[in-house]
């Protein structure tokens, strides 16, 4: 406690400039340290949200338990919650307050197929074989945002500060399935700033062009003619042949695409059984590139290849946009303000147990010299001079509609495999809880920067208008009538939901989810786990 007070005093001192704005800044710093203390007092709520969402383990478009649970918390805290926004049943839009600025906090909530994994143990043990799990860590971001919002709301109410706080989820982020639709349907009109949060293994923010790609996710559906595979196959026209020829053509074409592109596909329907010529088959592609024009160009190439495959096989083809993500561009003024808060707040104090667990996971994943959890801030990342390829996030579409930043907070362990069960191992442990609490402090203090002072809101807006969108305009990859792919993952969740329900975290009976599971954190060697 003494140490914390000393740190806060030091932190306050770092903000105090000379001159006439002294009083204003010292008020702001008082409010910031108040928000930080208030967030520390919500440790229990943070842990419960993270552990609950971990136990729900829901895939994209099927986050209904997550929605029910979080909407209840938000309504109990005077937020008005609209469910099913933008025609997406598991989405919501929660708002509190009135007037400007309107600050919208977002974070993803969906899990990863087949990533079911017991938390807090340093070895592979699925909770349910084949089930989804939080192998990305999307169970932690809503806790960051809700706790930050509650701390700031309390201050705004008392101080009579105008402003509106919005909380929204990234539904089906793993399918890049909703944020472009939110933007298309006007949810972000009138929003002044979006503070987005994403799980990571350090505490950082970036501005300008971000590393990674944007993409179009598109499914091609071929229609042919069924026939007996042995009796009279000449009467058939195989939709699967079209899928295979399309894939072959794309794989030849790869050589002549720009090396920074990334593209991958799965055959989402390969027919029913071998003795029936497949009359229906489909293939689902992610077409990624570092620029919007690059994505559009490659998508046109793919479209031609699909039409070619249809011509070659006498089948017909149609397509459906499943997801979209614009290459991201983040707001410089907000990122700089956020980075100042990051430097003052710093990384969590990891325990020996946390470090031991992290190193055990890194060793499990093949590290020769496990580094453990980060103890030094990685620092702000400025606008990329040269693009770097990689993954995508549909926050890109929002970043071209509203001044936006993404805070990456340290709830996971570095050096693990992404979209993989190893990335679920720490996500219901003290590492996830501490990282989220730290992230919430950064979000709350940055919200106060925006609420207290319209200078930052105005600077953010002028960067957005005069720099970001001065010579690049947003032209969405989805059209006005493309529906969201809300049926995705329905079958998988129908299979696993009853099994997952038995393992839902019961916070009325157990202090933590690890307690409920009977795990002695950090459990480094395989032991028979006796569930409590």
Residues at the interface with Zn ion (CB under 5 A): 136
Q: Where are the beta strands (DSSP E) in 2-116?
A: 80-83, 92-98, 102-108
DSSP-derived letter for residue 463 is: I
Q: Whose Cβ is closer to Zn ion: residue 140's or residue 315's?
A: 140
Q: Whose Cβ is closer to Zn ion: residue 411's or residue 429's?
A: 411
Shortest spacing between CB 393 and Zn ion, in angstroms: 6
Shortest spacing between CB 114 and Zn ion, in angstroms: 16
Phi and psi at 15, nearest 5°, equal: -90, -20
Shortest spacing between CB 330 and Zn ion, in angstroms: 16
Contact 306, 317 (CB under 8 A): yes
- Ramachandran area for residue 206 (φ above 0: left; ψ -120 to 50: alpha; else beta): beta
d(CA 106, CA 407): 10
Shortest spacing between CB 170 and Zn ion, in angstroms: 8
Contact 135, 199 (CB under 8 A): no
Q: How far is CA 204 from the centre of its chain?
A: 15
Q: Whose Cβ is closer to Zn ion: residue 116's or residue 313's?
A: 116
Q: Whose Cβ is closer to Zn ion: residue 136's or residue 397's?
A: 136
Shortest spacing between CB 63 and Zn ion, in angstroms: 14
d(CA 339, CA 203): 9
**Could you tell me the CA-to-CA distances from 121 to 31, 55, 361 in Å, in that order?**
39, 15, 9
Terminus-to-terminus CA distance in the chain, angstroms? 34
CA–CA–CA angle 257, 259, 265 (5° rounding): 70
Contact 505, 51 (CB under 8 A): yes
Question: What is the torsion angle, in degrees rounded to the nearest 10, for the CA atoms of residue 188, residue 194, residue 197 and residue 198?
Answer: 60
Shortest spacing between CB 174 and Zn ion, in angstroms: 7
d(CA 96, CA 167): 9
Shortest spacing between CB 171 and Zn ion, in angstroms: 12
Q: Would you tell me the crossing angle of helices 141-159 and 22-40 to the nearest 10 degrees?
A: 130
Q: Whose Cβ is closer to Zn ion: residue 212's or residue 430's?
A: 212
Shortest spacing between CB 115 and Zn ion, in angstroms: 12
d(CA 387, CA 84): 36
Specify the DSSP element, H or E, that contains 218. strand 214-223
Contact 236, 222 (CB under 8 A): no
CA–CA–CA angle 382, 386, 392 (5° rounding): 80
Q: Whose Cβ is closer to Zn ion: residue 35's or residue 428's?
A: 428
Task: Give residue number: closest CB to Zn ion.
Answer: 136
Q: Whose Cβ is closer to Zn ion: residue 109's or residue 517's?
A: 109
Shortest spacing between CB 138 and Zn ion, in angstroms: 6
d(CA 186, CA 86): 9
Shortest spacing between CB 489 and Zn ion, in angstroms: 16
Q: Whose Cβ is closer to Zn ion: residue 48's or residue 136's?
A: 136
d(CA 431, CA 523): 14
Phi and psi at 389, nearest 5°, equal: -75, 170
Encoding tokens for residue 63? Answer: 């986050």
Shortest spacing between CB 235 and Zn ion, in angstroms: 48
d(CA 236, CA 250): 25
Encoding tokens for residue 141? Answer: 């971001």
Shortest spacing between CB 424 and Zn ion, in angstroms: 13
Q: Whose Cβ is closer to Zn ion: residue 56's or residue 222's?
A: 56
d(CA 265, CA 243): 11
Phi and psi at 12, nearest 5°, equal: -60, -45
Encoding tokens for residue 174? Answer: 């793993």
């Amino acid at each position: 406690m003494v140490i914390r007070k000393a740190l806060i005093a030091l932190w306050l001192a770092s903000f105090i400039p000379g001159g006439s704005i002294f009083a204003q800044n010292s008020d702001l710093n008082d409010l910031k340290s108040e928000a930080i203390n208030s967030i520390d007092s919500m440790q229990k709520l943070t842990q419960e949200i993270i552990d609950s969402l971990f136990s729900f383990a829901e895939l994209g478009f099927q986050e209904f338990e997550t929605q029910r649970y979080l909407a209840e918390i938000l309504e109990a805290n005077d937020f008005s919650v609209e469910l099913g926004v933008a025609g997406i049943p598991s989405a919501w839009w929660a708002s509190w307050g009135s007037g400007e600025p309107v600050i919208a906090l977002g974070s993803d909530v969906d899990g990863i197929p087949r990533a079911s994994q017991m938390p807090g143990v340093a070895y592979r043990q699925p909770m349910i074989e084949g089930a989804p799990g939080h192998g990305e860590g999307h169970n932690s971001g809503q806790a960051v945002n809700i706790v930050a919002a509650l701390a700031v709301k309390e201050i705004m109410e008392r101080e009579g500060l105008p402003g509106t706080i919005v909380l929204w989820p990234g539904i089906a982020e793993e399918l890049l399935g909703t944020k472009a639709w939110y933007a298309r349907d006007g949810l972000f009109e009138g929003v002044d700033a979006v503070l987005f949060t994403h799980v990571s293994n350090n505490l950082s923010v970036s501005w300008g062009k971000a590393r990674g790609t944007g993409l179009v996710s598109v499914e091609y559906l071929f229609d042919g003619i069924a026939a007996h595979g042995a009796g009279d196959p000449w009467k058939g026209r195989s939709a699967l042949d079209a899928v295979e020829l399309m894939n072959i053509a794309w794989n030849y074409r790869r050589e002549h695409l720009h090396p920074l592109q990334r593209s991958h596909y799965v055959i989402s329907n390969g027919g029913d059984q071998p003795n029936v010529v497949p009359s229906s088959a489909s293939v689902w592609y992610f077409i990624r590139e570092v620029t919007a024009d690059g994505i559009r160009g490659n998508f046109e190439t793919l479209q031609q290849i699909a039409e070619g495959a249809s011509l070659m096989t006498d089948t017909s083809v149609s397509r459906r946009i499943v997801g979209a993500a614009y290459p991201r561009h983040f707001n410089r003024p907000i990122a700089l303000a956020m980075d100042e808060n990051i430097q003052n707040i710093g990384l969590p104090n990891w325990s020996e147990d946390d470090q031991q667990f992290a190193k055990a996971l890194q060793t499990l994943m093949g590290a020769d010299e496990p580094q453990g959890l980060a103890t030094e801030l990685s620092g702000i990342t400025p606008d990329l001079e040269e693009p770097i390829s990689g993954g995508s996030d549909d926050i890109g579409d929002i970043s071209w509609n509203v001044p936006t930043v993404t805070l990456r907070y340290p709830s996971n362990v570095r050096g693990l495999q992404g979209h993989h069960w190893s990335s679920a191992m720490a996500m219901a442990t003290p590492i996830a809880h501490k990282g989220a609490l730290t992230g919430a402090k950064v979000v709350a203090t940055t919200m106060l920067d925006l609420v207290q002072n319209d200078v930052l809101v105005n600077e953010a807006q002028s960067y957005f208008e005069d720099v970001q969108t001065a010579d690049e305009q947003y032209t969405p990859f989805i059209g006005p009538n493309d529906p969201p792919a809300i049926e995705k993952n329905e079958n998988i969740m129908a299979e696993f939901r009853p099994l997952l329900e038995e393992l839902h975290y019961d916070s009325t009976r157990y202090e933590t989810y690890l307690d409920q599971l009977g795990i002695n954190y950090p459990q480094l060697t395989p032991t028979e786990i006796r569930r409590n």
